[in-house]
Structure 1
């Protein structure tokens, strides 16, 4: 999401209807251009992905979405496969990744992955919903590696709390959790970095679209269920000019011992 000036529409019902009508296929957030922005993580995941893919012979991208991020690599491995669990994204990904000669496999959102043991020397995933560490270790060859940019615990907490109030409970999606889970699966973490990224919403349409698309932010979100909270947030945005939250990300790279 690029940093740009906000749009000028201010009517609450018009904005909510606009955000509720946008199709959700793929993992392309370009509709938010001019409505919302998010800082990029300093490590440059796209560049790291391109580098690792250029050196791989057989690679798997898990939870590829619409294939938009993977499609940016300049050089594909000899064998490239992507998986996606949300049915509307599968055909989008197949069209997007056709130019790379990549196969796209529709999968369930739980193990096992439909591949033989030690099938890949690289597994990647950007913003996976779940990371099935034992499965990643299983499909990696000895000496292979896993590269992932993950959504950290408490990401855009300010937004979720604006709708549902303060949340309590143990947070598991942390770098420390990833380190322990990777080790338990037999992988050795060689890189682990964290970042907190400023995320700005300029209108309530952007909030509605974001909550519909990034469903884990408020899992039971619908416009009708949260209309009073959305109206209060709209009034806050109108008064303050924007709503600011903070996304949390971490990069993890792990190797399967040879």
Structure 2
């Protein structure tokens, strides 16, 4: 049985760059969606001449797609530590890694890409996605769905209003994609069990996925974290549910 102070110290010092969550092995679990996004991503990449991966993080998902990249393969990222990590991982494989701003536009001309992809974008820029796709091109992505891990979020922030629970709803995303001139041809939504086995796993997760509890620090939430440590120790893992949406949309030819 490890102490609260030891778990906190370890989680606060762990590096959080990129989208490799292997630090959580044995400390947290998350059920995976049934569709297998990374496998499908590899299949899509094999059939195009030019592709763009938005918000690639540290490039781990794209690199692990086990695909032969198309002649033009571009990845974007906005957070400097992730950008550096993605460049080191992807550039040796011929991928152009480009800095992306925090707001539109994307730094590309119109109708450049046959395929635009993204795994867990913060907020899809539908108009820009449509603009950079060639006629007949496809947007293929896995989004974070509505109220993802809100059991954990609300443990720290308290109850959130109905509007916040509605954010990222598949119906709203479909409407936004269609308003940008895309036709949604596939959309699937699943809620998936998450378990956190110690408070250090929670701290690491919230340090890495910074938008879940904005401004999260151990010092700010020390009392709640200590209560959570006691709860996990006495009752077992903290359970939440991730929300994931598979999206495939096409630009008319």
TM range (shorter): over 0.9
Contact 1:137/1:186 (8 A) holds in 2? yes
Match of 1:120 among 101, 113, 119: 113
Instruction: Tell me what 2:59 maps to.
Output: 67
Q: Where do residues 36-185 of structure 1 align in structure 2 (5 Å cutoff)?
A: 36-73=28-65, 74-170=67-163, 171-185=166-180
- Which TM-score applies when normalising by structure 1? 0.95
Residue segments in structure 1 that go unaligned for 5+ positions in a row: 1-8
Q: Could you tell me how far 1:75 is from its partner in structure 2? A: 1.1
Q: Do structure 1's residue 19 and structure 2's residue 11 form an aligned pair?
A: yes
Contact 2:91/2:97 (8 A) holds in 1? no
Q: Could you tell me how far 1:166 is from its partner in structure 2? A: 1.0
Q: Do structure 1's residue 186 and structure 2's residue 191 form an aligned pair?
A: no
Moved segments of 4+, more than 6 Å: none
Q: Could you tell me how far 1:100 is from its partner in structure 2? A: 2.3
Alpha-carbon distance between aligned partners in 1 of 2:202 and 2:122, rounded to the nearest angstrom: 20
Match of 2:252 among 249, 252, 257: 257
State the Cα deviation string for residues 59-114 of structure 1 (Å, max 9, x = none).
Answer: 00000000000001321111000000001111100111124210100111210000
Alpha-carbon distance between aligned partners in 2 of 1:229 and 1:41, rounded to the nearest angstrom: 30
Alpha-carbon distance between aligned partners in 1 of 2:145 and 2:29, rounded to the nearest angstrom: 18
Alpha-carbon distance between aligned partners in 1 of 2:27 and 2:87, rounded to the nearest angstrom: 29
State the Cα deviation string for residues 126-156 of structure 1 (Å, max 9, x = none).
Answer: 0001100000000000000000100011100
Worse overlay, 151-160 or 98-107: 98-107
Residue segments in structure 2 that go unaligned for 5+ positions in a row: none
Alpha-carbon distance between aligned partners in 1 of 2:2 and 2:152, rounded to the nearest angstrom: 20
Alpha-carbon distance between aligned partners in 2 of 1:161 and 1:122, rounded to the nearest angstrom: 36
Q: Where do residues 194-205 of structure 1 align in structure 2 (5 Å cutoff)?
A: 194-205=189-200
Alpha-carbon distance between aligned partners in 2 of 1:172 and 1:158, rounded to the nearest angstrom: 15
Alpha-carbon distance between aligned partners in 2 of 1:18 and 1:111, rounded to the nearest angstrom: 37
Contact 1:35/1:206 (8 A) holds in 2? yes
| Alignment length (residue pairs) | 250
Worse overlay, 215-224 or 54-63: 215-224
